[in-house]
Structure 1
């Protein structure tokens, strides 16, 4: 048995940390083709070296043949792991990978009208030129939101973007080394932190939050209605324990406790009602979960409906990066009790209904395995501005626009992750 906190596979562990650092170097050079190619070659070889050096220690590792054989069997059935091995052989023995620079175009007119296409462009082609080429076709849309995402893709793995593909291989190797540590009954070990500071010796079976596979820096958003770009701004807010305690005292709210998205949704609604009564307003919040663990919390803000469409696609990007299997969204919204249609027979959203609409708090919860619920709490304000709630309504059938509209991008992303076998 290896002593506690003494790494049982130091050489392989350090190589995995090398790969973490190299992945970030790869991401940071995305717009520099030659530098990107250089870092990719190093990373592919580094990933393969993790298993090479691990096998050198097999006589020292308990039950090696059992758990390593299981890893090999899974790798043989994984297109990504086969690609990684074959790519290393190509790089070492033949030539560089055959990379293509793509522009992925996503167009969203409304919640139900959208589409995606991939175009191949030279790596250094300016975004303005790409968009000019795309919209020179009169058949392409002229309204809604267009998102242009730059992507490097290997000809041998056309369905995966390179950052995504290499991250998936890294995750598989991280799980392998976690298994090696568990076999030796070592819960953790410590090596010096690298640059960037996220490169630590911590092992996990889950994706690392720092490995963002849909970075905003590689996306551009254009509002076709306004003829202008939409700037995406993300402001990280570190947890402030003093502010948290102050807020709990103000609202009389304790910890939400543990639970998946379905279990936390009613608790969040109860807390939100308390906040709204106290403050007369409530910010939007999104929670990302894996099982009972909250991975991240965001407070999305958007100026208009087109920006809202974009926001929910970016939330879906975050779900994919974190590989979240639970999602909760809280917002103030407009609410109506019936349906009305305009002169063209199109359903009128509550926001356009005028005097017969009501204010409401709404919390939507969904899980990757298909469970979902919407809680809606209509409210009014009396002459003194006091918030008065009606009965909270529960809709678990999800036959409304919430499931197929606003939250459709998250549901669709889960389906895509399932199709790729990403657990």
Structure 2
């Protein structure tokens, strides 16, 4: 056995290297999702490489006593898997007949508010159209000032093979990778070797199903590609002593109270108390999205946005994230500009008002349909604007609909357009409604 160990390692290394090569080709295809020619080339290379993973294992059969019996079990699994059967047939087609019979389903939407925007009946008929061609095809009637200044074109593409129309192409290849990864891992284990960490997970992070990886965002102002991505925070956890030193025992106690909340409203009130302490101590409060299950916090995400267009996108992505993570409640806390309706310019915002004020704001909703808003106006020191002088008492409303929370209400099945008619009417009366398209010409 000792004599055969080097051969075992060589056999394992060869299979692992080829599997990882398949993964790299898959990742190349994912990066080229909106470049049709390059995407198809990477997909077909990935497909052909997948075949050689099992070839390499079979070519090293002498390293594993009882190989035929061991491999037969994996062969039966692949024969019973319709996606693996498709992968085998697709490889044969590429090798003997040419390219796959791929199709690209394309959809697009203009995002210039928290509500749904104009859809895609104007898309180019050529599914191989570039993102720039799709952007240039947006009708002029939608290029009104608000949409151009604050709008984003969301383009979603879905690649499928004619022989497997029910599954997206990269998803099918990711499944094939997972099956082959399990086979390689079992091969390595049966050889008596430890399974390397890079193949321990048969579905690596890069292959997770994320809607944003099948979508691209284009600025309606510049035509440039923009986007948002969620990244795991790398900051070390704050120690209790450090927290108490910074925010005092009152701050620490307020955070503990938030954890003990029994209702959604109690959680909102408790987290807002903590936010007041953070604002007063630090002089600012970053934008945060708190995700809950019931009344208990389980995830916090930084939600800063550079502009209004990014905010419209971010709310949709956070709503999708809530569903993916199983959250049934969200609390959004941030600083905001406030102003009386009479002071806001027509088709403008509070930030554009001369008599604007700063406030700490909370907007929250959950899957049962509860909506809670809390605001507290605050004032800065005249000579030290980075410091907060005072924070006014809270103002809370329960059950008042908010357009900003619409993406969450939709994913939780709680959105009712009738609830927003009164808000829309008041906005129309105040001249605050924003046109989403130009009126039809009467000429």
Give the structure-1-normalised TM-score: 0.58
- Report the alpha carbon displacement of residue 90 of structure 1 after superposing the two structures with TM: 3.1
Q: Contact between 2:124 and 2:137, CA under 8 Å: does it hold in 1?
A: no
Q: Contact between 2:18 and 2:53, CA under 8 Å: does it hold in 1?
A: yes
User: Deviations for 1:242-271, whole angstroms, at most 9, x for unmatched residues?
Assistant: 877856742355799899xx8996575554
User: Deviations for 1:107-163, whole angstroms, at most 9, x for unmatched residues?
Assistant: 134333424326443747461x43333426x6x664632415373623525676544
Q: What is the distance in 2 between the residues matched to 1:302 and 1:283?
A: 12
> For 1:240, which of 235, 241, 245 is the aligned residue?
235
Q: What is the distance in 1 between the residues matched to 2:53 and 2:111?
A: 42
Mean Cα deviation higher: 143-152 or 18-27:
143-152
- Report the alpha carbon displacement of residue 89 of structure 1 after superposing the two structures with TM: 4.4
Q: Contact between 1:265 and 1:364, CA under 8 Å: does it hold in 2?
A: no
SS at match of 2:325: coil
Q: What is the distance in 1 between the residues matched to 2:397 and 2:183?
A: 47
- Report the alpha carbon displacement of residue 239 of structure 1 after superposing the two structures with TM: 2.1
Q: What does residue 196 of structure 2 align with?
A: 191
**Greater Rg over alpha carbons, structure:** 2
1:407 aligns with 2:412: no
1:250 aligns with 2:246: yes
User: Deviations for 1:36-74, whole angstroms, at most 9, x for unmatched residues?
Assistant: 3332113234556778969x969559xx79xx86x987x
Q: Contact between 1:265 and 1:328, CA under 8 Å: does it hold in 2?
A: no
Q: What does residue 196 of structure 1 align with?
A: none
CA RMSD of aligned residues (A): 6.0
Q: What does residue 153 of structure 1 align with?
A: 159
1:39 aligns with 2:10: no
Q: What does residue 94 of structure 2 align with?
A: 91
Q: Contact between 1:360 and 1:376, CA under 8 Å: does it hold in 2?
A: no
> For 2:28, which of 25, 29, 34 is the aligned residue?
25
User: Deviations for 1:283-323, whole angstroms, at most 9, x for unmatched residues?
Assistant: 1123679999968833331423x442233234456678xx4
Q: What is the distance in 1 between the residues matched to 2:365 and 2:52?
A: 42
User: Deviations for 1:347-374, whole angstroms, at most 9, x for unmatched residues?
Assistant: x9998999999945325365xxx55655
- Report the alpha carbon displacement of residue 222 of structure 1 after superposing the two structures with TM: 0.9
Q: Contact between 1:365 and 1:373, CA under 8 Å: does it hold in 2?
A: yes
Q: What is the distance in 2 between the residues matched to 1:103 and 1:42?
A: 23
Q: Contact between 1:148 and 1:220, CA under 8 Å: does it hold in 2?
A: yes
Q: Contact between 2:16 and 2:184, CA under 8 Å: does it hold in 1?
A: no
Gaps of 5+ in 2: 1-7, 59-65, 382-388, 414-443
User: Deviations for 1:148-207, whole angstroms, at most 9, x for unmatched residues?
Assistant: 537362352567654455446556776x679979x99x9x95538xxxxxxx23416685
SS at match of 1:281: coil
Change (3 A) 1:12 1:163: same
- Report the alpha carbon displacement of residue 215 of structure 1 after superposing the two structures with TM: 4.7
Q: What is the distance in 2 between the residues matched to 1:317 and 1:172?
A: 28
Change (3 A) 1:364 1:104: same
Q: What does residue 221 of structure 1 align with?
A: 219
Larger helix fraction of residues: 2
Q: Contact between 2:217 and 2:227, CA under 8 Å: does it hold in 1?
A: no
Q: What does residue 297 of structure 1 align with?
A: 301
Q: What does residue 195 of structure 1 align with?
A: none
Q: What is the distance in 2 between the residues matched to 1:89 and 1:263?
A: 60
Give the structure-2-normalised TM-score: 0.56
SS at match of 1:220: strand
